[in-house]
Copies of this chain bind each other. A is one copy, B any other.
Amino acid sequence: MDSIKYILPEKDMPTSWYNIQADLPVPLPPYLHPVTKQVIGPGDLAPLFAMELIKQEVSQERFIDIPEEVQKIYRQFRPSPLYRARRLEQALDTPAHIYYKLEDVSPAGSHKPNSAIPQAYYNMKEGIKRLTTETGAGQWGSSLALACNYFDIELKVYMVKVSYNQKPYRRMMMETWGATCVPSPSPDTNSGRAALAADPNNMGSLGLAISEAVEDAMQRDDTHYTLGSVLNHVLMHQTIIGQECQKQMEMAGEYPDVVIACVGGGSNFGGIALPFVYDKLRKDTKTRVLAVEPSSCPSLTKGLYAYDYGDEAGMAPITKMFTLGSHFMPPPVHAGGLRYHGMSPIISHLHKLGIIEARAVNQLATFEAGITFARTEGIISAPETNHAIRAAIDEAIKCRETGEKKVILFNHSGHGYFDMTAYNTYLLGDLSDYEYPAEKVKEAQSFMPQV
C-alpha cells in the first residue's frame, strides 16, 4: 500500500489569486490608525507598503491576476504536489482518505514564498531598494530573503530571539541568500532598546519584532515593511495553494469533507482554506474548515474578538481580530511561526461568523503526530505543520470509530529540516507542554486600545 502523488501540469497552475473579500456575507471591519484610532486610508499605509499591495488589501475584486514575472518564479517549484497518505491511513487503520498538499518544495522549504515573491516584486516595481520584516521560526524571513535575492532588494530581518537561538540554521540560510538577520529585541530600534531596558533577557515575540521592523522602515524613504501573514493581501497570495488543491482533488476524483491547516497569523490556513470557503459560500458545500493552533497561544479558541494592536509598540494598524493582547509573550514552543498574539482579520471574521472552526492542541501531541507521519509518509515536518497533522490524525481516528469514509485534506506547510533539535528533544523525552497562561493573557489584554 503506497501513497499516491498527484502532479498538476505546469500549464494548469492558477494564474490569479482568489480574494475572499468579494464573497464575504458581511464586509470586514476597517483598519484603524494606531494613534488617531480613525479609519485608516491608503495614504496612511503608503510609507510602509507598496501601493499595489495596499490596493490588494482593500480590493473587492474576486480574482486578481498574478503578474507574469511572479508566475515565472512560482513555476520554479509550483504546482506543488498533492499526496494521498495511504501509508498513514493504513497505520491508523482508518476508512478515511487523507490528502496533504506538500508546500515544502519551495527552496525556502515552506508556503511562505507564495507571498514573499509578489511582495518583493511589487516593491521592486515601485522603486524600493530595501525591505524590513519580522520572522518567528524563520520561515518567512528566509522566504523573503530568497525573494529579495531574485529582485535585487536589500533585506533586514528581525527574528524573534527565542527562535533565533533555537533555529540558527534559518538565520544562516537568510545570510546565504544575502540578507541581514538580527535577534529581536535588538539594540537597533527604539522599540527593541525599550524592551531590552525593561528586561535584558526578553526572548521576543512576533508582536515586538513587527514593531522593530515597522519602526526601521519608517525611518528611511528607500525602505518598505513587509508582513508574512495576517494581512488580507498575504492570505490572498497564498490562495494559489487551495486553488491547486481543488484541481488536484478533482484529479483524485474526490472532494474534501474536512480542510485542515495550522494557524499562527493565518497565511497557510487561508491559503488552503479560502478557495474551499468560496465553495461553501457560493456552492453550498458542507466541508468543515478547521484551524489548528497551539494551546499555549490560543488566539482563536481563547482570545477576545476585538480591535487590537498588531504589534507590541502600537505602530502597526489596529485591526479587529481574535487576540490575546499585543503584549502577550507566548511560551517558547518550537512552533515559532504560531506564536502570534492575534489572528488574521479574515480568519477572525470567518470564525466569528461561524464559517470555520478552531481547535487548540498541545505541543507533545503535535510531535507525536509528526513522528507518526515521518515513519509512515517518510516526511519530516515543521513543528507548525505537526499541528495540522495532529488534527488530521484525530479526524481519521474518529472515522475509524464511526466507520465514516471521510475525505480529509490538510496543508503540509513546511519541512522540519531546521527543527531537528526539537525532534531530538522530543525523542529524548525532554519536551514539555505549556499550560495556557491565563494570567499573562489577562494582563496583556489590559493594554488593548480603547476604540
Near B by CB (< 8 A), chain A positions 327-352 give none
The smallest beta-carbon distance between A278 and chain B, in angstroms, is 28
Flag if B149 contacts A375 (CB, 8 Å). yes
A380 neighbours in B (Cβ, 8 Å): 107, 173, 176
The smallest beta-carbon distance between A101 and chain B, in angstroms, is 15
Bound-state CA distance A83–B374 (Å) is 28
Bound-state CA distance A178–B178 (Å) is 36
A405 at the interface (CB under 8 A from B): no
A5 at the interface (CB under 8 A from B): yes
Binds B, one of A55-63, A71-79, A155-163, A226-234: A71-79
Flag if B5 contacts A420 (CB, 8 Å). no
A424 neighbours in B (Cβ, 8 Å): 168, 172, 175
Q: How many copies does the complex hold?
A: 2
Bound-state CA distance A301–B201 (Å) is 54
A169 neighbours in B (Cβ, 8 Å): 169, 417, 420-421
A423 neighbours in B (Cβ, 8 Å): 172, 175-176
Bound-state CA distance A107–B2 (Å) is 15
Residues of A within 8 A of B (CB): 2-3, 5, 7, 9-10, 72-73, 75-76, 83, 105, 107, 109, 146, 149-150, 168-169, 172-173, 175-178, 371, 374-375, 378-380, 417-418, 420-421, 423-424, 427
Sample of 4 further A-B pairs with CB below 8 A, known A175-B423, A417-B417:
A2-B73, A5-B10, A172-B423, A175-B424
For this complex, 14 residue pairs linking A to B, each with C-beta atoms less than 8 Å apart, are A2-B76, A3-B76, A7-B9, A76-B378, A107-B379, A149-B378, A169-B169, A169-B420, A169-B421, A172-B424, A173-B380, A175-B427, A176-B374, A176-B380
